[in-house]
Amino acid sequence: MSSPALSGAVAHHPWWESGVIYQVYPRSFQDSDGDGIGDLAGVLARLDYIAALGVDAIWLSPVFPSPMADFGYDVADYCGIDPMFGDLAAFDSLLAAAHARGLKLILDFVPNHSSDQHPWFLASRSSRDDPKRDWYIWRDPAPGGGPPNNWISDFGGSAWEWDARTGQYYLHAFLKEQPDLNWRNPALRDAMMDVLRFWMDRGVDGFRIDVLWHIVKAEGLPDNPPNPHWTPAQTERDKLIQRYSTDQPEAHAIAADMRALADGYGERVLIGEIFLPNDRHARWYGAPDRPQVHLPFNFQLIENDWNAATLNRIIADYEASLPPFGWPNWVIGSHDAPRISARIGEAQARVAAMLLLTLRGTPTLYQGDEIGIGPVDIPPDRIRDPQHWRQPTLDIGRDRSRTPMPWDASANAGFTTGKPWLPLNADWPVRNVDAQLADSDSMLALYRALTALRRVTRALAIGGFAMAVGDSDVLAYERWHDDDRLLIALNLCAEPRQLLLPVGVRIAEVLASTLPSHPMDGTLHGDEGLVLRLERDD
């Protein structure tokens, strides 16, 4: 049995292909000093938990010095650590301790924009003649006055901010406190490549690259065309098609340069945050002789409806879009997306965990999803996300995905001795890590069982893949490696469905289930997912 998706694949599989990545949002993981905000010492204290989860790498959301206008995605120093989180010595201790446990550490690199408090921008803003003026994107007003073009910030409002001191506008794809860097300037490019060198010299194992498809803008900065399909239910940004403000050809050359630099350090992974249709998304892999990022993040399990027909289509289309040398990847949650249990309910979130950890490719888990944190109410006076306040009628705030990790039933769930910066999930006294460690049927137990199964089952870690026939509401696919053949069958509804086996095989073993074990009678129970080992029915 062979898979077209694996044609041209090399025999060697780097760690990030067979591995599982775990995203840590440091502000909300573990507080060590009682200020209500998580920190690096807190992550260090919980490394054994992460290792026992069975993951291979930690992706650490930004911990660089920052005014925190966008909670660290407004960087004021790319080569430091914000005192809120610790210092470089604390980072080095965390890195060494992670490596000692066999864990890789991936940093969040933010190349599209800096903070408006970064020394580079302060210099750029000081005078039109400053040497760093062109490190950012400045333009004169439009001929009739007002912003230079019609571009809209991703957070709403114009993407241009007027600077009275120098009489020009500067571009910001996000908040005005996040001015866009000018990657067409060679000196800026060199400085940012030096940032990557700084951290790789320190021993980090790769980078998740924030909004990579934004980093170059079209020459001349023409107006973006209107979106004829826009409705008021969409964000203001979506009034326009971002034809000239994102995904420019020159950005691919920069990604290739980043990859060449990373490859010079050995097996360091580059993960690109890229929201694009499949055909444009796949281009970010580059070419065999000029590769770009290893993993252009694939968000389709977050962005689409949760039903068998939709998932069957997006999985098949995504696999078909990949270049022969491209390795797939999947995510079901992040600090920017609604939590999976809040979106589809806890029963189906268990099915989603099985889907994530058995599809072909690299899975990324988001902290808290492994214990099934669901809807969290954030009182108006506790809302912190600037995106909410820019477009409050859309209810798109991200705070509900960033609430603190509940560790136990002690005060503040063991997260802090102070006041948590965001509220905890309301059910934290019973939904916490300690409670789930004591429950063999918990969501956490399921995640740990699935990651353990991936480690010992090459068919899941690096094997072939093909969609299979399933009953209505059932998503089914096969995985294999050498003579080991598996069937994954996922019931995406609450009612029983028939378990359909491929012709000529029978069930040899049930390797994993989202439900407590029960006799196999040819039926998938409601909300049930199964990983089955098959054998020939001679």
Q: Are residues 42 and 18 in the same domain?
A: yes
Task: Give the DSSP H/E element, type plus range, for residue 95.
Answer: helix 88-100
Confidence band, pLDDT 50/70/90 cuts, at residue 11: low
pLDDT single digits (tens) 289-337: 999 999 999 999 998 999 999 999 999 999 999 999 999 999 999 999 9
Helix, strand or coil, per DSSP, at residue 484: strand
- Report yes or no on 459 lying in a domain: no
Q: Are residues 268 and 222 in the same domain?
A: yes
Q: Are residues 232 and 351 in the same domain?
A: yes
- What percent of the chain has a predicted confidence (pLDDT) above 70? 98
pLDDT single digits (tens) 324-383: 999 999 999 999 999 999 999 999 999 999 999 999 999 999 999 999 999 999 998 998
**Where would I find the H helices in 291-345?**
300-303, 308-321, 340-344
Pairing label, strands 464-467, 474-481: antiparallel
- Report yes or no on 179 lying in a domain: no
Q: Are residues 76 and 220 in the same domain?
A: yes
pLDDT for the residue 192: 98
Q: Are residues 154 and 218 in the same domain?
A: no
Q: Are residues 150 and 219 in the same domain?
A: no
Q: Are residues 288 and 400 in the same domain?
A: yes
- Report yes or no on 129 lying in a domain: yes
Task: Give the DSSP H/E element, type plus range, for residue 171.
Answer: strand 168-171
pLDDT for the residue 504: 94
Pairing label, strands 168-171, 329-331: unpaired
- Report yes or no on 80 lying in a domain: yes
The pLDDT of 197-205, averaged and rounded, is: 98
pLDDT for the residue 510: 96
Measure the CA–CA gap between 380 and 375, rounded to whole angstroms.
15
Q: Are residues 204 and 245 in the same domain?
A: yes
Last residue of a domain, one of 419, 450, 481: 450
Residue 520 is part of which domain span?
464-536
- Report yes or no on 178 lying in a domain: no
pLDDT for the residue 10: 38
Q: Are residues 336 and 402 in the same domain?
A: yes
pLDDT single digits (tens) 473-525: 999 999 999 999 999 999 999 999 999 999 999 999 999 999 998 888 899 99
Q: For this structure, is 134 an active site residue?
A: no
Structurally, the chain folds into a number of domains equal to: 3
Question: Residue length, the chain?
Answer: 538
Q: For this structure, is 210 an active site residue?
A: yes
Q: Which of 70, 116, 177, 273 is catalytic?
A: 273
The pTM score is: 0.95
- Report yes or no on 456 lying in a domain: no
pLDDT for the residue 392: 76
The count of C-alpha atoms lying within 13 angstroms of the C-alpha of 173, restricted to the half-sphere facing its C-beta, is 26
- Report yes or no on 393 lying in a domain: yes
* Chain position carrying tokens 């002789």: 289
Helix, strand or coil, per DSSP, at residue 88: helix
Q: Which of 116, 210, 236, 528 is catalytic?
A: 210
Q: Does the pLDDT at position 3 exceed 60?
A: no
Confidence band, pLDDT 50/70/90 cuts, at residue 2: very low
Q: Are residues 157 and 253 in the same domain?
A: no
Q: Does the pLDDT at position 5 exceed 50?
A: no
Q: Does the pLDDT at position 265 exceed 50?
A: yes
pLDDT single digits (tens) 227-245: 999 999 899 999 999 999 9
CA 476 vs CA 333, 479, 487, 490: distances in Å: 22, 10, 7, 6
Q: Does the pLDDT at position 443 exceed 60?
A: yes
- Report yes or no on 286 lying in a domain: yes
CA quadruple 210, 212, 217, 223: dihedral, nearest 10: -80
Q: Are residues 108 and 132 in the same domain?
A: no
DSSP designation for 135:
G
Q: Are residues 471 and 444 in the same domain?
A: no
Measure the CA–CA gap between 234 and 512, rounded to whole angstroms.
39
Confidence band, pLDDT 50/70/90 cuts, at residue 393: low
Helix, strand or coil, per DSSP, at residue 69: coil
CATH number at residue 510: 2.60.40.1180
pLDDT single digits (tens) 53-102: 999 999 999 999 999 999 999 999 999 999 999 999 999 999 999 999 99
CATH number at residue 52: 3.20.20.80
pLDDT for the residue 4: 34
